[in-house]
Amino acid sequence: MSGCLCVQWTVTPLTAPEPILICPGCGRARPFRSSGKFRLNANGKQLDAWLIYKCTSCAATWNRPLFERRAVRTLDPATLQALHSNDPRHAETLAFDVHQLRRHAPKVREAADVQVHKQVLRQESSAWSRLDILFAVPVPTSVRMDRLLARELQMSRTKVLELAGAKIRRQLRRPVRDGLRVTIARKALVRSDQA
Ligand SMILES: [Zn+2]
């Protein structure tokens, strides 16, 4: 057996992360969801922008800062247009940006459910000996690599950590990132199937 089966796994979260905030309406911590609408405030040649979130239990809202006092000329026209027209796609992209969200909401509930689209990039031989997985993560997600591999390869997390080797073990405990690569021997996959 020789060569690799090189595949790309494109990982996308199914639902946007939800900030957990003390809701002024409910008087307790509640998850908030993006309304898909922006709020803008122009001050001369400067612009403030927020994405409006709504409490999941009442009508209270929270404005998530996107930028403050930004010179309008430094914004690209497409972004500006998207903000002015409440472009749903732009709002969704921002709603899924958990890193930016965390800057304003220390507590965030991230959905663990992701969609994995698998695509064969190259098969060097039908008797390939290693599976080479390249991760494409266009939208950041909190799903850990080991959990994802365990789920998709139908094996335990302990087994995944064992197979992937000590070098990347630490990386596997972190959220999956764009461009990461994991190689697993076919032998190991077969053994694990039989186990
Ligand atoms: Zn509320």
Residue 54 CA to ligand 1 centre (angstroms)? 8
- Model confidence at 184: pLDDT above 90: no
Alpha carbon of 31 to ligand 1 centroid (Å)? 8
Q: Return the residue matching tokens 């749903």.
A: 88
Closest CA to 118 of 134, 130, 129: 134
pLDDT band at residue 113 under the 50/70/90 scheme: confident
pTM of the prediction?
0.69
pLDDT (0 to 100) of residue 49:
98
d(CA 28, ligand 1 centre) in Å:
8
Give the distance (Å) from ligand 1 centre to CA of residue 79: 30
The better pLDDT of the pair 187, 1 is held by 187
Q: What is the pLDDT of residue 125?
A: 87
Task: Inform me whether the pLDDT recorded for 193 exceeds 70.
Answer: no
**Which is nearest to 175 in space by CA: 140, 135, 144?**
144
Is the pLDDT assigned to residue 116 strictly greater than 80? yes
Q: Are strands 130-136 and 114-123 parallel, antiparallel or unpaired?
A: unpaired
For residue range 61-99, list pLDDT tens digits in order. Answer: 999 999 999 999 999 999 999 999 999 999 999 999 888
What percent of the chain lies above the pLDDT cut of 70? Answer: 96
User: Given a cut of 50, is residue 192 above it in pLDDT?
Assistant: no
Give residue 34 CA to ligand 1 midpoint distance, Å.
Answer: 14
Note the pLDDT tens digit of each residue in 138-176. Answer: 887 878 899 999 999 999 988 888 887 777 788 888 889
Cα–ligand 1 centroid distance for 33 (angstroms): 11
Average pLDDT score over residue span 39-53: 96
Section 12-38 average pLDDT: 96
What is the distance in A from the centroid of ligand 1 to the CA of 83? 26
191 C-alpha to center of ligand 1: Å? 51
What pLDDT is recorded for position 187? 83
Torsion of CA 149, 152, 157, 163, to 10 degrees: -60
Q: How far is the CA of 92 from the centre of ligand 1 (A)?
A: 22
Cα of 18 vs centre of ligand 1, distance in Å, is 13
Instruction: State mean pLDDT over 106-127.
Output: 91
Mean pLDDT score of the chain, rounded to an integer? 90
Neighbours of ion ligand 1 (CB under 5 A): 23, 25-26, 30, 55, 57-58, 60
CA of 14 from ligand 1 middle (Å) equals 24
pLDDT of amino acid 191: 52
